[in-house]
Structure 1
Amino acid sequence: MSMFSTGILVLTSPLHVLPLRIAPVLTSAAQVVERTLYVHLHPGLNLGTGGQVRPAYIPPVVDLCTLISCLYSNAADICAHLDVRVLLSNVRAQSAALSGNNGPFPTPQTLSHSPEVVLTDFPIQDSGQSSLVTQCLQKYAGHCYICKPCLSSVLLYPRLKEVEEDDDRRGRAAQLKPLETFSDVVVGGTFDRLHGAHKTLLNISCLMANRRFVIGVCDQELLKNKVLKELIEPYDQRVQKLQDFLNDVKPSLEYEIVPLSDPFGPSVSDPELQCIVVSEETRKGGEAVNRKRVENRLAELVLYEIQLLKDAHHADIEEEKISSSSLRTRLLGTLLKAPSVRKSCSLKLYDRNEPKSTSRLQQLLPLFWSQAVKRIVQRDGVKEEDALRRLKSQWLNAKLIEHANVVLCTLWEPDVTQRQVLKTWTLLQQRIQKRLEEIRPSP
């Protein structure tokens, strides 16, 4: 089956059933899409009628929050390489939907990445339906989003889990419970290397916000105590990724992304804010925000708490939840940026010394160090001890990492450092082998 860079998955199963079916659906979708997977929700959509199907508004209900959390949790476990984004343009309260003359997509929405393929979980009764359903699916996707020309379509055939009758009844009752929404919602966080837990927080916040969504992004002082803070993405880069994600998810909202140099930011001074979305970890911070608001004679915010997402692949030194610090830890020993071939002196020496052994390189490295000391002494007219002191008091970590190709860290036990070194060495050998194969003359 062909692989596509970007796809859009149209989920049609009943809302209370979808959490049970997400895992097999994502497993199937990951065999077709390799970079970005958008998820469009339309429970109950019938693609087998042969008639023209139109997008419809779906109400914000409690089950949607459960589904969003389940979807991102499963995505992190099953297809972590995919950038999954749940789209909410067609989610609106019944009263708001009736007040508008148009449907959810008066014109097709432009996404950050144009879909090349549309997929669905819609079940077909027999193979003769396939052509009809795929045509209907393509037209439906084109009505909602601007897609690449010659849009492909794929009907997924995951092994869907059956729903017990009792669970079915309970689910149908639960999905009718409306979700409380607010005009203005606020959240805060570092948002480094945007992952499933961030996306869950942002998606649910977008779901609850009707007009404005304020996002405070930690900067400067608030980053000092973070694990591997030097590997945190620059503020502008984090903001740009947030903007791209949010504009895809719900472009109708007014977004305000502001830097946080203290734990509160605008949450304690903005009188129009009504709700703050927190996690189990940050609930105390939300309570502190409300105490400050009371001091400032402002109304308290509604605290809406979401659960943390478990990380099924966490290592012994990583957190059990999905977190940015774990993702930064996994960068250690990997190639952060490709080296310039002209500057790779060690690689050239390695290539020139037979018989591809590191022993000669190990003998040469001390010579480089002593030569550096000698040059500083001659150039600056200082003593050897001063030259050594200069070499030892070089750039700060952040500056070193800015110019580094690979980063290691001795923060943990020696065996953890050893694993980093082995990882670095293994990946280096793979790159060298690949490079040798590229430059090897054809027979």
Structure 2
Amino acid sequence: VEHPEPEEPEEDLADPDWRPDQFANVALGGTFDRLHSGHKILLATGALLASRVLTIGITGPGLLGNKVLPDLIQSYRERAAAVVDFLADTRPDGPVYHVTELAEPLGPPARQADYQALVASPETRSGCGRINAARTAAGWPELPVHCTKLSSSTGRYRLLGAPLRPPLRPPVPGRPYVLGLTGGSGSGKSSVGRRLAGLGARVVDCDRLGHAAYAPGTACHRRLLAEFGPEIAPDGPDGAIDRKALGRRVFADQSARQRLNDIVWPEIRRLALEAVHSGPQSASPDVVVLDAAVLLEAEWQCLCHEVWLCLIPKREAVKRLTERDGLTEEAAQARLAAQLTDADRLSWASVALCTLWEPEATQAQVELAWKRLLRERLGATPGPQSNL
């Protein structure tokens, strides 16, 4: 399945008569995430064209919100260091390299007259027109634009389903290999769990175990009544707990929410471990998916060999919550704000998956990750693909 990619330029903006050291001051900009060959062409072009100063604007954190898969983007410091190292190796005796963090889209050439040319990529070429419009408004000459071809977003697509970091711990022969599957509300985590089940994994649904933990007659049920009062069980002390009513009660009270978690999470953990080690082995090797929205908040990653993360742009998560759960946009925003961010979760993830596109794209990511898991982690041969 092909992921959407940025359109190529409709025309070649590069002037074939451009030559090395033709312009005193040249500017270029971009995200420069995981420096690849396209970035290197862009930077090398700028380094060749500039005789005095090459200004490199690198997108700052405040401008990343509309990028594709922004949580997979490296930190500004990492990106800037990679740019500086590459330029130092490529043309150490070239122009002065001035690296600056972009806090607004247009950067220095829109604010300072003393530039003679711009170097752009397909992702940044539209900004060159806005830069020249700003220069015209200021009474400065427009700058010629040299356009190269690259795409950072395509590189981030290729990270989906691919290993991001080593597992938390190695497999133990004869024991289940546990994948922690997590993600924020609306991330499509449950659908990924079903796809993994279709490929042969056993899935332990911790949300269902949560329902079991609340069941009447359990120690957890009694502790909840003692902590939060009989009103959370409208049918009496032997009746079911109204989870929605309890959730509304603790949502805005961090202390109450923590007391609830301290009661419920240990019981879910106990039930999850029981399911992992006592359930029927569905395949060899035995891979068990611990499907848990609060996997990291509850520190259950210690139960797992590795963590897989489902992430989704925030605007899409809000859209899904309003359509699926009937929440208002404000309520959806509040729910997401109360959770870990995807950037926080990524620090634990060995694999990242995204359900933003058509189902076939999700399936392709899951199958890629599954095959690599079996082949590279567990030394097994992948079986037939799922029909999901």
TM-score range, shorter chain: 0.5 to 0.7
The separation in 1 between residues aligned to 2:212 and 2:343, in whole angstroms, is 22
Matched, 1:336 2:164: yes
What amino acid is the match of 1:370?
A: G
The correspondence for 1:420, drawn from 365, 370, 373, is 365
Q: Post-superposition shift, 1:230?
A: 0.9
The separation in 2 between residues aligned to 1:409 and 1:195, in whole angstroms, is 22
What amino acid is the match of 2:358?
A: E
What amino acid is the match of 1:329?
A: Y
The separation in 1 between residues aligned to 2:55 and 2:73, in whole angstroms, is 22
What amino acid is the match of 1:330?
A: R
1:195-344 to 2 correspondences below 5 Å: 195-252=36-93, 253-279=95-121, 282-297=124-139, 299-308=140-149, 322-341=150-169
Q: Post-superposition shift, 1:348?
A: 4.5
The separation in 2 between residues aligned to 1:230 and 1:283, in whole angstroms, is 24
Matched, 1:431 2:350: no
1:2-401 to 2 correspondences below 5 Å: 181-252=22-93, 253-279=95-121, 282-297=124-139, 299-308=140-149, 322-341=150-169, 348-350=175-177, 362=202, 364-366=204-206, 369-370=209-210, 381=227, 385=243, 386=247, 391=294, 394-401=339-346
Q: Is the 8 A contact 1:217 1:257 kept in 2?
A: yes
The separation in 2 between residues aligned to 1:178 and 1:395, in whole angstroms, is 50
The separation in 2 between residues aligned to 1:227 and 1:281, in whole angstroms, is 12
The separation in 2 between residues aligned to 1:347 and 1:398, in whole angstroms, is 34
Q: 1:281 to 1:192 in 2, by over 3 A?
A: closer
Q: Post-superposition shift, 1:178?
A: 5.0
Q: Deviations over 1:84-130 (max 9, x none)?
A: xxxxxxxxxxxxxxxxxxxxxxxxxxxxxxxxxxxxxxxxxxxxxxx
Secondary structure class of the residue paired with 1:272: coil
> What is the RMSD computed on CA atoms of the aligned residues?
4.0
The separation in 2 between residues aligned to 1:247 and 1:217, in whole angstroms, is 17
Q: 1:362 to 1:350 in 2, by over 3 A?
A: same
The separation in 2 between residues aligned to 1:414 and 1:195, in whole angstroms, is 29
Q: Post-superposition shift, 1:433?
A: 3.1
The corresponding residue for 2:317 is none
Secondary structure class of the residue paired with 2:27: strand
The separation in 1 between residues aligned to 2:341 and 2:212, in whole angstroms, is 19
Q: Is the 8 A contact 1:197 1:323 kept in 2?
A: yes
Which stretch shows the higher mean deviation, 239-248 or 270-279? 270-279
- More contact order relative to length (CA 8 Å, sep ≥ 6): 2
Q: Post-superposition shift, 1:294?
A: 3.2
What amino acid is the match of 2:42?
A: L
Q: Deviations over 1:378-408 (max 9, x none)?
A: 6994677336999485312221122211111
The separation in 2 between residues aligned to 1:327 and 1:200, in whole angstroms, is 15
The separation in 2 between residues aligned to 1:201 and 1:372, in whole angstroms, is 57
Q: Is the 8 A contact 1:184 1:272 kept in 2?
A: yes
Q: Deviations over 1:350-382 (max 9, x none)?
A: 49xxxxxx8997365549953996799869946
What amino acid is the match of 2:116?
A: Q
Q: Post-superposition shift, 1:293?
A: 2.2
Q: Deviations over 1:390-434 (max 9, x none)?
A: 948531222112221111110111111111111111111013334
Which runs of 5 or more structure 2 residues have no equivalent in the other structure?
1-13, 179-196, 233-240, 248-259, 265-292, 295-334, 381-388
The separation in 1 between residues aligned to 2:174 and 2:47, in whole angstroms, is 49
Secondary structure class of the residue paired with 1:399: helix
The separation in 2 between residues aligned to 1:400 and 1:205, in whole angstroms, is 37
The corresponding residue for 2:300 is none
The corresponding residue for 2:323 is none
Q: 1:333 to 1:381 in 2, by over 3 A?
A: farther
What amino acid is the match of 2:131?
A: V
- Provide the identity percentage: 32
Q: Is the 8 A contact 1:276 1:301 kept in 2?
A: no
Secondary structure class of the residue paired with 2:176: helix
The separation in 1 between residues aligned to 2:35 and 2:99, in whole angstroms, is 15
Q: Deviations over 1:269-328 (max 9, x none)?
A: 22332221224564442222122123334x3243132242xxxxxxxxxxxxx4111111
